[in-house]
Structure 1
């Protein structure tokens, strides 16, 4: 009997996976994931290689790192994507009206950049890079919300989350390693114009993707929006006085954060090199403060609003909202409250005390790989003495393929074993791979032995020799390349498995109605602990060495494992699908409707 059940589970899982992969939403998700990964590779990665060839000085290059702030603080304008329609393109759909134009802007920016010489037109070059990065970060908000909106029983949220990660990583490989190779043969302008047209093509193709619908009638859209806000005046809702207090407090916090970022960017772009503020110092100092002001403190304010409502204090009474009273006049502050505060209130109200567990998991899940990431190259190049070519091969080529394999396996196992099982497994393997680096820091004897035992050393040397022959270089593989590649491969493989489950879980806990804001806020929290801990970690490396730090981060990863188990228990108690057995899809074989489920 057990074997029969297991067989049915496997068949059901394969059927679910097959139906999902044949669905057009999955194809567009891969396309959108690629569109998410390509711009960061071009604006934050290979761009520096082009600037170096153009003899742009390092201090000026530091200004270009400012474009990364668009990705770090994209949640600051995420409320616009949930509540604002773009005139003239709202018929495309609630999310596509933001996605497609942003992709076209990125494409145009790349094409125009290809016509400029960064050595002589640095001002225009930096402006285009900033515009492109802002548009790219905005499309990311829209795509993350689109994924949540269109997920259904066939194109499941788990599969779509895995596919978007695969597209992103594939774009990182194409825009990074392959971009460098193409630039060697054809020059940087050719590379950027080619990728610019790729983004333009994706923007045009995305017009045909399914989407959450937006009313064709402007008046009807406005009336629907007013009706949603009018619900704030129903019996039992908090009074306008309480709402305005919460809005004022959150508005001040968000206003300070936005002004801080804008002032820093203006100072950086207009100051002389000797007076230019340090980007890294700003990120590590003000980054956590901005997250505190825009996420943590507003969450406490939202909790206060929820408590007022649940305790029946400062709420609208029946006689104040009786049928005899005229419908309320919707004000601008009502719409602002709806866009800025209500997503937090909804999340706090729905999660309750479980929010503490959720936030703790968000803060710690990726700590094992994110906190030490900035020290990776100093470790490889300085501590271990590898060459840049060795690191590029192991990290940028083999490592990307390892992530893709991990994502593919993780996506299939989510379908078979469930989201929460894979979320927990991902935390375990991500923590364990830090122990591989601990051995590498001590010489890598175990890594070398394991690599030799499974034939990995032979494979790495064969591929490295093949690439040397292909690109007409005579340098043989380094003596320790196999153990470096072995360690990086398994770490990235673990990142792929953990990433597939994490994005799927993160997408599952937000409300479709507020997907853009809630997902952007939670995603930004993922980087908080890494940002806070890097200063202390750098000092610890100096005092204790890399081996100690890798063992410590592995132990810290155990915290995420415990939190995953606690979250798994919470999900099971709520009666949600913890994902032990894949659902029966026998009745889903027909082509599903493309209209997404309502929130």
Structure 2
């Protein structure tokens, strides 16, 4: 290649990367960051932060463990997502903004009520309020995910996925360590009141942000009455999202890929803590490295994943990030062989969070692109729940495998566990490109 052509190609490549980075400064992409923050903020308020409150109040360990069940709504949010997709919101500001503001107002009130309780005398009430906060938080996630998918252009889904994950991770730091700092100085009500006030960040986006246009097939039908209206609503809101997705070519293969894509990472993640403890790391050492290194690695990974997705296209980004995610598990092997070394621990945590966040961003962008405008909330809730199956169900066998194989063979296994999903993805991309050249080119090249 002549020198002039090399310079031109290099300049073009740099320009493309700059364009990918510049997409993070687009107004609609920036709006996703506070929405991600609002989405992640309530989670720890009903989980580890609440557990810390109970522990300091002298609540029994058995009771603290039982309170983990209040997180159940996050796994079943797809059951009521059709209501959010189809029913008019209590506040008439549009299908997404109206539901978003309505849910967040009640969520703020429920968070304040939870913070005003006394664990020594109000455990039953706190259980009901924690469950309500989790339900409202999961419902808020349904609205936020649908809003994100609908207001962003296809080439903005990668940066949008990075923004939602970055905001979510920042919120978990604030509602975890930040809430504990506030509680230590000013009490638990002040901590929960502060978190409730910070939820207004998401509400401001819904108040001042744009309302996505509602497609014609998502408009409510008013001609039918009585049971005919009920049957019509069930057909469009409940069975409609499934029927619409199953009209997509190769939909069974797509579902299998979604389940398997993060399987290896999930298997390794479940056994990471037992590995660290078995080779002699203290809880303080693990916590310090995980909080500091893990947080920054996740944020960087999410942003890099968004840039890669925007530059290479969703399919290529999924393949590249999936390979890196699998290779990242090899650092567990290094840790198992190297033993108690803090530098290895920092490297292992950094690799795990960096590659996992990159792959997570690419996957969120892919799931977003699979949703039809008429059923965004329902279909994304279903697909995201399906993506967690590998983490919650299949990965639960990790302990048995680790016991039988040993640490090094087990983590070697996790590095290849995602290969079938990646091979399936390549097959899907080629079949899609062959059956619809325009679609395949768009998916492969962005």
TM-score w.r.t. the length of structure 2 is 0.91
Distance 2:24 2:270 in 1: 36
Offset at residue 92 of structure 1 (A): 1.4
| Aligned pairs (5 A) from 1:416-495 | 416-444=311-339, 480-495=341-356
The Cα of 1:52 is off from its aligned counterpart by 0.7
Counterpart position of 2:146: 145
Aligned to 2:84: 81
d(CA) in 1 for partners of 2:164, 2:322? 20
**Secondary structure of 2:159's aligned partner:** helix
User: CA shift at 1:32, angstroms?
Assistant: 0.6
In structure 2, the partner of 1:472 is none
Report the alpha carbon displacement of residue 40 of structure 1 after superposing the two structures with TM. 0.9
Q: In the TM superposition, what is the alpha-carbon distance from 1:9 to its structure 2 partner? A: 3.9
User: How many angstroms does 1:48 deviate by?
Assistant: 0.8
* Aligned pairs (5 A) from 1:342-381: 342-349=240-247, 351-352=248-249, 354-381=250-277
Distance 1:223 1:58 in 2: 48
Please point out which of 295, 311, 322 is paired with 1:400: 295
Three-state SS of the structure 2 residue aligned to 1:344 is helix
2:52 — aligned with what?
49
Contact 1:75 1:521 survives alignment (8 Å): yes
Note the C-alpha offset of 1:54. Answer: 0.8
- The yes-or-no answer on 1:226 pairing with 2:229 is no
Q: Deviations over 1:162-204 (max 9, x none)?
A: 2111111111222223333443444433221111111135324
**Which is further off, 399-408 or 57-66?**
57-66
8 Å contact kept, 1:183–1:190: yes
Q: Is the CA contact (8 Å cut-off) linking 2:257 and 2:425 kept in structure 1?
A: yes
CA-CA distance at 1:223 after TM superposition: 11
| C-alpha distance in structure 2 between counterparts of 1:561 and 1:529, whole Å | 15
How many angstroms does 1:581 deviate by?
6.1
Q: Does residue 1:555 correspond to 2:416, yes or no?
A: yes
Q: Which residue of 2 aligns with 1:234?
A: none
Determine the structure 2 residue equivalent to 1:61: 64
Q: Do the aligned residues in 1 keep the contact of 2:81 with 2:142 (CA within 8 Å)?
A: yes
Tell me which structure has the larger Cα radius of gyration: 1
- The CA deviation at 1:114 is 2.3
Whole-Å Cα distance in 1 between the matches of residues 26 and 50 of structure 2? 36
Which residue of 1 is the match for residue 8 of structure 2? 4
Q: Give the drift of 1:408.
A: 1.3
| Counterpart contact for 2:268–2:329, Cα < 8 Å | no
CA positional deviation for 1:69 = 0.6
Partners of 2:318 and 2:199 lie apart in 1 by 32
Match of 2:229 among 302, 319, 331: 331
What residue number does 1:281 align with?
Answer: none
Query: Please, which of 556, 568, 580 is the counterpart of residue 429 of structure 2?
Result: 568
Structure 1 residue 41, shift from structure 2 partner: 2.1
Deviates more, 1:104-113 or 1:430-439: 104-113
CA distance in 2, matches of 1:24, 1:489: 30
Contact 2:306 2:361 survives alignment (8 Å): yes
Partner of 1:160: 160
- Cα 1:514–1:214 shift into 2, 3 Å: closer
Task: Name stretches of at least 5 consecutive residues in structure 1 with no aligned partner.
Answer: 216-220, 231-328, 445-478, 583-599
Residues in 2 aligned to 1:557 and 1:31: alpha-carbon distance in whole angstroms: 32
Distance 1:498 1:384, change over 3 A: same
Contact 1:36 1:139 in 2 (8 A): yes
CA contact (8 A) 2:270 2:398 kept: no
> CA 1:201–1:409 in structure 2 vs 1: closer, same or farther (change >3 Å)?
closer
CA distance in 2 between partners of 1:413 and 1:224 (Å):
36
Larger helix percent: 2
RMSD: 2.7
Classify the secondary structure of the residue corresponding to 2:385: helix
1:506 and 1:214 mapped to 2: Cα distance? 20
1:108 maps to what in 2?
A: 109
What is the CA distance between 1:39 and its match in structure 2? 0.9
- Shift in Å, 1:392: 1.1
C-alpha contact (below 8 Å) 1:226/1:330 kept by paired residues:
no
Instruction: Return closer, same or farther for 1:185/1:419 CA change in 2, 3 Å cut-off.
Output: same
How many Å apart are 1:341 and its aligned residue? Answer: 0.7
Query: What is the CA–CA distance in structure 2 between the aligned matches of 1:358 and 1:377, rounded to whole Å?
Result: 31
Q: Aligned partners of 1:224 and 1:111: how far apart in 2?
A: 36
Where in structure 2 are there 5+ consecutive unaligned residues? none
Q: Distance in 2 between matches of 1:539 and 1:222?
A: 48
1:71 aligns with 2:74: yes
Tell me the equivalent position of 1:189.
Answer: 189
Shift of 1:4: 1.5
Superposition map of 1:215-294 within 5 A: 224-226=219-221
Aligned length: 439
Q: Distance in 1 between matches of 2:109 and 2:37?
A: 17
Give the C-alpha shift of residue 432 in structure 1: 1.1
